[in-house]
Amino acid sequence: MTLAASKLVISKLANGLTIATENRPFMKSIALGLWVKAGSRNEQEPAGAPSSGQTRHGIAHLLEHMAFKGTKGRTAEQIAAAIEDVGGDINAATGLETTGYFIRILPKDLALAADILGDIITAPLFDKTELEREKQVILQEIGAANDTPDDVVFDQLTEIAWPGQAIGRPILGTPATVASFEPEDLRAFMREHYYGGNMVAVACGAVEHEDFAAKIAEKLGSLPIEPAVKAAALPVQYQGGDNRQSRNLMDTQLIIGFEGCSNTHADYYAAHILAMILGGGMSSRLFQEIREKRGLCYSISAFHWAFADSGLFGIHTATSGAGLAELMPVLLSELAKAAHNIDKRELERARAQYAAGLIMGQESAAARAAGIARQILFYGFVKTEEEILQKLAAVSTAQVQNLAQRLFFNSRPCFAALGCIDTLLPYKAICEAMTANAPAAASEARFLPEK
């Protein structure tokens, strides 16, 4: 039996809100949601407002929580019950650059789901009692994150990569900032960021575009096309540095990072390929050399995070005290080797891993809907699978090697450690080792969005 092909359709309302659907005839459910191009990095004060430091830290995440805590037409319990009564589920998530509200339901309940999405965005109540209760929930969430070492070390990393900037702060906020928020603070943040031109509604699965678009237009067509108050646009400034915290743990958490490339840079795919080669699985360089051959850690992986105007490339590992002194010199040596040589077989393996992950990821309607939304918000269009595979196919060993040279030797490293840190290589020694191993071919290019 041959399955019918999926069909992606995109339209736009008069208020600028983009609507996208991907009909999948072989599916019997719908994953839909609303995504806003605003996250924790947008927590600065409005343009022209007096600076108040970090007073908005955590407001994007609190707003996401409060969306389900009652509207003018529904209580918090009624919102949850309405979806669960028909067997669906509802959730939301806040990131650095986006916030998403999503629902999964059966096709017969599409009107209900669209109505609830419209309700939480256009008529949130922000009841004072509910707000105080939800603050306590988030304070518990902050406490749980602080008790999770791998969460803490990643927060350390971003704080040192982008010190004093919203993008470098933990998404959850701090107990002090979260406790300070009032209903009007949430309304003000919505007025600045929750407008038609800054939002995308997406549905994926057993859905027809005309039906979904009509329901979204009815519920969200009244949103303004532009914000009442413009938020200040602040470009990020990568700095790097050292952030170590001593804590009595079984394993010490370590991350070394470097300034990466933006999500529109020509090296975007090469950066992901390099992360795969270095730490993308059991066959990767770092796993084989540091974990398998030397037994210096239990886990090790590489990652590349790309944002609108910056990025972060990093290696994360966890090790016991016995391997601490030897681990960092070996890791730094492997980074230098990547800058001097990339093997074609490694490239092909990494390319296959990325392509397989792309294809497998699209089998989830929810993941596909989120991917469509993100591409529209940051690119203005959706790349086809064929276009992405062509970009991957064009990545060469020379490009990846050149990228490694620029990544590892043209930006000050950021280093984060949590646990037993007494025998760790000093930060100055890390920087000196990177300088000593720098290839002569390393260029001065930075990783900014391409025009």
Catalytic positions, please?
64
Cβ–Cβ under 8 Å, residues 271 and 313: yes
Q: What is the 8-class DSSP label of residue 301? A: E
Q: Indicate the helix (H) or strand (E) that contains 304.
A: strand 299-306
- With CA atoms as reference, report the closest residue to 177 among 355, 52, 357: 52
Terminus-to-terminus CA distance in the chain, angstroms? 45
Question: Coil, strand, or helix at residue 224?
Answer: coil
The burial class, CB within 10 Å (0-12 / 13-18 / 19+), for 431 is middle
CB atoms within 10 A of CB 358: 14
367 CB-near residues (< 8 Å, 6+ apart)? 361
Say how many CA atoms lie within 13 Å of 356 toward its Cβ. Answer: 8
How far is C-alpha 18 from the chain's CA centre?
21
- With CA atoms as reference, report the closest residue to 59 among 156, 162, 191: 191
- What's the rounded Cα separation, in Å, for the pair 357 and 1? 25
- What's the rounded Cα separation, in Å, for the pair 289 and 350? 17
- What's the rounded Cα separation, in Å, for the pair 317 and 327? 10
